[in-house]
Amino acid sequence: MSQSDDLLTIMQLITQADQLAGQKDAAGYVALFAEDGAIEGTQGTATGHEALKQMVQDVWQKEGQTLHLTNSVLVQNLTATTATATSVLLIIDRDSLQTMSVAKITHTLALIDGHWLFTKRSIA
pLDDT at 22: 95
Burial class (CB in 10 A: 0-12, 13-18, 19+), 96: exposed
Inter-residue contact 86 to 105 (CB < 8 Å) = yes
pLDDT at 27: 98
Nearest to 85 by CA among 28, 31, 17: 17
Examine the pLDDT at 23 and tell me if it is beyond 80. yes
Q: What is the mean pLDDT of residues 112-120?
A: 98
Work out the pLDDT band at 54, boundaries 50, 70, 90.
Answer: very high
pLDDT at 19: 97
Examine the pLDDT at 30 and tell me if it is beyond 80. yes
Work out the pLDDT band at 82, boundaries 50, 70, 90.
Answer: very high
Q: What is the mean pLDDT of residues 31-48?
A: 96
Q: What is the DSSP letter of 31?
A: T
Inter-residue contact 43 to 59 (CB < 8 Å) = yes
pLDDT at 8: 95
* Cα–Cα distance, 39 to 42 (Å, whole number): 10
CA 55 vs. chain centroid, Å, equals 13
Q: What is the mean pLDDT of residues 54-67?
A: 95
CA 50 vs. chain centroid, Å, equals 16
pLDDT at 49: 98
